[in-house]
Copies of this chain bind each other. A is one copy, B any other.
Amino acid sequence: MPAPRLATALNSPTLDLERSIIDGVSVIEHWLRNEWQKHAVPFYCSVDLRNSGFKLAPVDTNLFPGGFNNLNPEFMPLCVQAMMTAVEKICAGARSVLLIPESHTRNISYLQNVATLQAIMRHAGLDIRIGTLLPHITAAAEVDLPDGGKLTLEPVQRRGNHLVVDGFDPCAVLLNNDLSKGIPGVLQDLEQIVIPPLRAGWVTRRKSQHFNAYDDVARQFALLIGIDPWLINPYFAACGKINFHEKKGEDCVASTVDEILSDIREKYAEYGVKEDPFVIVKADAGTYGMGIMTVKDGAQVRALNRKQRNKMAVVKEGLQVTEVMVQEGVYTFESIKDAVAEPVIYMIDRYVVGGFYRVHTGRGIDENLNAPGMEFVPLAFEDTCLLPDRDARPGSSANRFYAYGVIARLALLAAAQELEKSKTRTKANVA
Looking at the assembled complex, report how far the CB atom of A158 sits from the nearest CB atom of chain B, in whole angstroms: 25
Is B78 a contact of A78 with CB atoms below 8 Å?
A: yes
Give the contacting residue for A77; candidates B30, B84, B125, B386; CB below 8 A.
B386
Looking at the assembled complex, report how far the CB atom of A76 sits from the nearest CB atom of chain B, in whole angstroms: 6
Is A77 a contact of B29 with CB atoms below 8 Å?
A: no
Give the contacting residue for A80; candidates B74, B124, B125, B387; CB below 8 A.
B387
Cα separation A308 to B32 with both chains bound (whole Å): 56
Give the contacting residue for A26; candidates B28, B81, B125, B386; CB below 8 A.
B125
Chain B residues with CB under 8 A of A26: 95-96, 122, 125-127
Chain B residues with CB under 8 A of A75: 77
Count residues on chain A whose CB falls below 8 Å from chain B CBs: 39
Looking at the assembled complex, report how far the CB atom of A16 sits from the nearest CB atom of chain B, in whole angstroms: 21
Chain B residues with CB under 8 A of A29: 84, 124-126
Q: Tell me which of A56-64, A86-94, A175-183, A245-253 binds B.
A: A86-94
Chain B residues with CB under 8 A of A33: 84, 87-88, 92, 125
Chain B residues with CB under 8 A of A93: 30, 34
Is A37 a contact of B92 with CB atoms below 8 Å?
A: yes
Cα separation A74 to B88 with both chains bound (whole Å): 26
Cα separation A70 to B219 with both chains bound (whole Å): 42
List A residues at the B interface (Cβ < 8 Å): 25-30, 32-34, 36-37, 74-78, 80-82, 84-85, 87-88, 92-96, 122-127, 351, 384, 386-388
In the assembled complex, 22 residue pairs joining A and B whose CB atoms fall closer than 8 Å, in A order, are A25-B122, A25-B123, A26-B96, A26-B125, A26-B127, A28-B125, A29-B124, A30-B93, A33-B87, A33-B92, A34-B92, A36-B88, A36-B92, A76-B386, A77-B384, A77-B387, A78-B81, A80-B386, A80-B387, A81-B81, A81-B386, A123-B386
